[in-house]
Structure 1
Amino acid sequence: MELQQLRYVVAVAEEHSFTRAAERHFVVQSALSHQIKALERELGVRLFARTSRKVELTAAGEAFVPGARASLEAAERAAADAAAATGQIRGDLTIGMIPTVTAVDVPAALREFRRTHPAVRIRLRGGGSDEFIAAIAAGAMDIAILGLADSAVPRGVATRVLARERLVAVVGTGHRFADWRRLRLTDLVDETFVDFPEGSPGRLPSDHAFAAAGLRREVAFEAMSTDLILDLVRQGLAITLLSEAVVPAGRGLRTVAVTGGPTRIEYLAWSDFNPGPAALAFLGFVGAGDG
């Protein structure tokens, strides 16, 4: 059993096509098919049920593919560890970023990291803090930047606090609060809000602040995109609470400080169990190399 055979099997399983799997690995289809047939003979089972139009994993294939993926990941990690022992950092680095990163200039950090470690393949992923924490704990992500309410402490991952900030009210230039210098939560209870989806880490700081003050608010619009949230505010459909750093100056928007408003903590998170060489190297570029 060879690693290349495992790569071919995983590619066919993901592409559902021998042709596309061969194109993915830059080989002719006959060579890929030959290697998979040789592996099937060695294993004594069929991994794929195939016709001229359709390819599916058999029950044996379904059982085989997870182990094949794990073996490939282990082989890549072994190669990366060996290279790191000689001072070379290589392999993959997967980084998760929430939509409202403010504490780190990620592009600048990646520029410096890339200059120093050009052999590392970098994958950037968007999403929410909860899914990033789960992905790091499962070994599917190396590093993430999280944004959480001050009452939510990340568990199962190593973290460092990057910043604590008070969210501000964001309103359109035609809104009655546009020229105010400071607001209270009680001033906002009759307003229509746009916010991140209910239960998401991006929304919890605001929900917690209103609940702690014994107040209720109406969230009429939900969106995961910060740009879309700001567009709705710009159109006068709603107001929102965000980090001031993600609100572009001018462009039909105003920010107003909120007394007793939501507090948000931004974290850098990584695996607390055997992080890879590329992850450890990148932590140094964002000031967390000491853990």
Structure 2
Amino acid sequence: MELQQMRYVIAVAESNSFTRAAERCLVVQSALSHQIARLERELGAKLFERTSRRVRLTPAGAAFLPAARQCLDAAERAAAEVAAAVGEIRGRLAVGLIPTVAAVDLPSMLRDFRQQYPSVRITLRAGASEELVEQVKQGTVEVAFLGLPTTARPEGVDARELARDRLVAVVAPDHPLAAETSVTLRRLSTEVFVDLPAKTAGRTQSDQAFAAAGLTRDVAFEVTTAYLTSRLVEQGLAVAMLPSAYAPQLTGVTTIEVTDAPERVEYVIWNRYDRTPAANAFLTLLETQRKRAPVRLKRT
């Protein structure tokens, strides 16, 4: 069993086509098919069902796929560790982030990281804070930036607090509130809202604030990106509450201070037990760019 055979199986499984898999792997289709057939003979089981219209995994193939991915990940990790031992950082780095990350200028940081470590391949994965925590625990994401209410902390991972921020109201430029310098939660509670899905960390901070004030609100729109939030607000369909540090990135809307606004805490998190050389280099760069006292990242 060879690593290249595993790469071919994964490519076919992800593309549902031997032709597209061969193109992706930069080999002729006959060579790819031969190697997969050879692997199937060695395993004593068919990995794919082939018809004239489609290709799909057999039960044996479905069982083989996760282990094949783990083997390739382990091989890449081994190569990265050897490279790090002789002073070269390479491999892959998966960075997770919430859509409204504001404590770090991530594009600028990635530019600097790329200049220093051009051999590292970087994947960015946007998601909700609670999803990112689980992905870091599982090792599918090495480092993540997230935001949580002040009542919560990341669990099961190492973390560092980066910043605290208050939410502001975001309204359309022609909204009656647009001319106000500040607003209260009670006044906002009479408006229709767009917000993140219920029970997500980003939604919870606002829900808790309204509940603590004895207020309810109408969340008519649930979205998963700040871009869609601002566009719905711009069209006058709803108002929103977003972090004040993120608000300057918005266009076509007006922001207003909320006198009794909730706070959120931004964290950087990483796997408690397993950090790749690329993740170590990324965290070291973050520490440098934060321009804080020269102390090591600490667990919280």
- Give the TM-score range, shorter chain: over 0.9
CA drift at 1:157: 1.4
Q: Which residue of 1 aligns with 2:15?
A: 15
Instruction: Go from structure 1 to structure 2 and tell me whether the alpha carbon gap of 1:95 and 1:22 turns closer, same or farther (over 3 Å shift).
Output: same
CA drift at 1:59: 2.3
Q: Which residue of 1 aligns with 2:4?
A: 4
Instruction: Go from structure 1 to structure 2 and tell me whether the alpha carbon gap of 1:261 and 1:57 turns closer, same or farther (over 3 Å shift).
Output: same
Deviations 1:98-157 (A, max 9, x none): 110110000111011001100000111122111111111111111111011111211121
Instruction: Go from structure 1 to structure 2 and tell me whether the alpha carbon gap of 1:217 and 1:83 turns closer, same or farther (over 3 Å shift).
Output: same
1:128-277 equivalences in 2 (<5 Å): 128-248=128-248, 251-277=251-277
Q: Distance in 2 between matches of 1:285 and 1:144?
A: 14
Q: Distance in 2 between matches of 1:249 and 1:138?
A: 32
Helix, strand or coil at the partner of 2:163: strand
Q: Which residue of 1 aligns with 2:279?
A: 279
Q: Does structure 1 retain, via aligned residues, the 8 Å contact 2:18–2:33?
A: yes
Q: Distance in 2 between matches of 1:88 and 1:252?
A: 45
How high is the TM-score relative to the length of structure 2?
Answer: 0.91
Helix, strand or coil at the partner of 1:99: coil
User: Is 215-224 or 204-213 further displaced after alignment?
Assistant: 215-224
Q: Distance in 2 between matches of 1:81 and 1:31?
A: 31
Is it true that 1:50 corresponds to 2:66 in the alignment? no
Q: Distance in 2 between matches of 1:169 and 1:29?
A: 56
Provide the aligned C-alpha RMSD in A.
1.8
For structure 2, the 5+ residue unaligned runs are 289-295
Q: Which residue of 2 aligns with 1:290?
A: 297
1:16-35 equivalences in 2 (<5 Å): 16-35=16-35
CA drift at 1:16: 1.7
**Structure 2 counterpart of 1:207, one-letter code:** D
How high is the TM-score relative to the length of structure 1?
Answer: 0.94
Q: Distance in 1 between matches of 2:170 and 2:118?
A: 40
Helix, strand or coil at the partner of 1:269: strand
CA drift at 1:252: 4.5
Helix, strand or coil at the partner of 1:164: strand
1:29-108 equivalences in 2 (<5 Å): 29-108=29-108
CA drift at 1:35: 1.1
Identity of aligned residues (%): 55
Helix, strand or coil at the partner of 1:245: coil
User: Is 35-44 or 83-92 further displaced after alignment?
Assistant: 35-44
